[in-house]
């Protein structure tokens, strides 16, 4: 079967669920929080992927003060940063990241810098030179701000960027930025990415004749 090929000038990469499988940690921390709030754990898990924690809390408990959500988000980030048990790379991610060395790419994640660095290290993946993390945006995914900031920092038109994402919020953010989106893993399939892959095992990235990137899926 012939692989799908997409051309791009830069790749913008989500972290959790796309490069790093951190589901075990996310499940432990958020189900514990859900139980403390008297919320259904499955419903909470359907909301939290791809968003900053305080925004997930605002969706789940809309009557609560913003200050309380921010305070609990700080506690959640500390808990998640301290817990690395079960973190592994998404299949294919180590080779994929090795192929991107020296090519234009950026990490765009709803995690803060501390959590992002811990999880990438726990998965044995290199931390990109350019990363747009929670502290650097005023609006979290599904807002496109993070992806647009990364494109601007790389000096690449949004239409020439290819996003790799797994969550509904992330896919919506990438599409809203005017970018094409490669959906990674089972969560992505329901949210209409441009194309879909099971993981990163079959993804190959090379330079094309014009100096751009050729991505085979």
Catalytic residue positions, numbered: 14, 16
- The answer for residues whose C-beta is within 8 angstroms of residue 131's C-beta and 6 or more apart is 106, 107, 108, 109, 113, 116
Q: Please give the C-alpha separations between residue 141 and each of 52, 103, 168, 169, 215, in angstroms, as whole numbers.
A: 8, 25, 9, 5, 24
SS3 56: helix
Asked whether 174 and 150 are in contact (CB, 8 A), the reply is no
Structure tokens at 88: 């592994």
**Token pair for 143:** 């807002």
Q: Alpha-carbon dihedral of residues 148, 102, 197, 133, nearest 10 degrees?
A: -40
Contacts of 202 (CB under 8 A, 6+ apart): 3, 92, 216, 217
Expressed in angstroms, the distance from the first to the final Cα of the chain is 11
């Amino acid at each position: 079967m012939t692989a799908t090929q997409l051309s791009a000038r830069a790749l913008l990469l989500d972290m959790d669920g796309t490069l790093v499988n951190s589901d075990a940690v996310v499940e432990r921390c958020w189900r514990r929080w859900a139980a403390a709030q008297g919320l259904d754990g499955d419903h909470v898990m359907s909301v939290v992927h791809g968003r900053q924690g305080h925004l997930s809390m605002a969706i789940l408990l809309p009557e609560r003060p913003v200050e309380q959500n921010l305070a609990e988000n700080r506690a959640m980030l500390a808990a998640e940063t301290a817990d690395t048990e079960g973190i592994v790379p998404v299949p294919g991610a180590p080779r994929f990241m090795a192929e991107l060395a020296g090519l234009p790419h950026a990490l765009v994640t709803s995690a803060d810098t501390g959590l992002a660095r811990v999880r990438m290290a726990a998965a044995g993946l290199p931390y990109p030179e350019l990363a747009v993390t929670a502290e650097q945006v005023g609006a979290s995914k599904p807002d496109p701000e993070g992806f647009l900031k990364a494109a601007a920092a790389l000096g690449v038109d949004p239409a020439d960027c290819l996003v790799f994402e797994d969550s509904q919020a992330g896919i919506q953010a990438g599409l809203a930025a005017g970018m094409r989106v490669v959906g990674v893993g089972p969560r992505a399939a329901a949210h209409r990415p441009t194309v879909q892959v099971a993981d990163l095992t079959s993804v190959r990235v090379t330079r094309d004749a014009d100096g751009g990137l050729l991505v085979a899926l």
